[in-house]
């Protein structure tokens, strides 16, 4: 068992799947000897380049995804990297209209087993835009968002073996941050299963990616200063959503706070709130509270970005409001 960063864990999962299944191949920009953006494919060119399954692509996001859809329909299992989430907007026809719908439109005759990797999030670099909520609106797609190395490796392996198109969202602020013990053996984490990262009894907090780690810090502060025992849930998968785990927690605590980095308006947190309002309303003892950025463009400068994205203080204030 090795201590890996999230980026290293994802690459380890890719390496195992490339070695185990000759139908798996990677496609993207600068993923060859350069190793990919933020070293997203580090070492894979040296190991698998001679097999022709590490493919350098031109700057054509729509073309890359379209090619991957065709390859998947022909029996391959492509893993295509669209460097940054903002560029997913260029791929919506082949991704949402074709990959996500072909299985339904052919009455189950055809499937599109492909993975689209993409990076997002506040970090030292640029390209912070988070468009996962838009993807969760498209039927037929699965949307995965790990928050740590162990989950990331198990989820990328599940995504590659899934018979449906999966968008795998990687937070740039987590890729080379904290390390975790990651099992060496073959393991997978099921898509659509949330994880309770911190048990609690007073309030349920659902948080994703980097916001999960800020929420866990906020939960410790709340316990220390207010005696509020927060239960923290990482959905891990935005779509399909593990409704049962979230509803079970809300029925126990009676309160719900949702934290994410995507814009609040139309964000995936609104869907979580709607699920609880529709299916668990009688358990609520206070209004649902969402903590997310305002509906304005993301500022470029670091000081303004710090004000824009939720932090521990805003999460603590939201929980105190829900618990009052």
Q: Where does the chain hold its CATH 3.40.50.920 domain(s)? A: 195-323
Amino acid 124: pLDDT: 55
At 123 the three-state DSSP class reads: coil
Q: Report the C-alpha gap between 262 and 131 in whole angstroms.
A: 7
Flag residues of the chain having pLDDT under 70: 123-125
Q: Name the fold adopted by 195-323.
A: Rossmann fold (3.40.50)
Let me know the angle formed at the C-alpha of 56 by 54 and 57, rounded to the nearest 5 degrees.
130
What does residue 158 show for φ and ψ, rounded to 5 degrees?
Answer: -65, -40
Angle between helix axes 6-20 and 149-161 (nearest 10 degrees) is 30
Q: Where does the chain hold its CATH 3.40.50.970 domain(s)? A: 2-182
* pLDDT tens sequence across 239-267: 999 999 999 999 999 999 999 999 999 99
Active-site residue list: 127
Amino acid 302: pLDDT: 82
According to CATH, what is the number of the domain 2-182? Answer: 3.40.50.970
């Amino acid at each position: 068992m090795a201590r890996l960063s999230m980026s290293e864990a994802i690459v380890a999962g890719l390496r195992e799947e490339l070695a185990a299944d000759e139908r798996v191949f990677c496609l993207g920009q600068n993923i060859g000897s350069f190793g990919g953006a933020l070293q997203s494919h580090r070492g894979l060119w040296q190991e698998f380049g001679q097999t022709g399954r590490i493919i350098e692509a031109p700057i054509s996001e729509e073309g890359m995804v379209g090619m991957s859809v065709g390859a998947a329909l022909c029996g391959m299992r492509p893993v295509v990297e669209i460097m940054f989430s903002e560029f997913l907007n260029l791929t919506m026809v082949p991704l949402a209209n074709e990959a996500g719908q072909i299985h339904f439109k052919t009455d189950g005759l055809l499937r599109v087993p492909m993975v689209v990797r993409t990076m997002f999030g506040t970090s030292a670099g640029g390209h912070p835009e988070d468009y996962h909520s838009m993807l969760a609106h498209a039927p037929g797609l699965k949307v995965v968002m790990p928050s740590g190395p162990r989950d990331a490796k198990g989820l990328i392996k599940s995504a590659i073996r899934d018979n449906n198109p999966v968008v795998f969202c990687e937070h740039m602020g987590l890729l080379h941050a904290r390390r975790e013990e990651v099992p060496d053996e073959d393991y997978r984490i099921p898509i659509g299963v949330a994880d309770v990262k911190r048990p609690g009894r007073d309030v349920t907090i659902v948080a994703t990616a980097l916001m999960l780690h800020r929420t866990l810090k906020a939960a410790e502060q709340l316990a220390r200063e207010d005696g509020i025992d927060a239960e923290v849930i990482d959905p891990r998968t935005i779509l399909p959503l593990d409704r049962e785990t979230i509803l079970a927690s809300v029925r126990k605590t009676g309160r719900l706070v949702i934290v994410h980095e995507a814009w609040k308006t139309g964000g995936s947190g609104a869907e979580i709130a709607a699920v609880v309002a529709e299916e668990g309303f009688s358990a609520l003892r206070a209004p649902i509270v969402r903590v997310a950025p305002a509906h304005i463009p993301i500022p470029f400068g670091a000081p303004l970005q710090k004000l824009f994205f939720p932090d521990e203080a805003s999460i603590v204030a939201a929980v105190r409001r829900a618990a009052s």
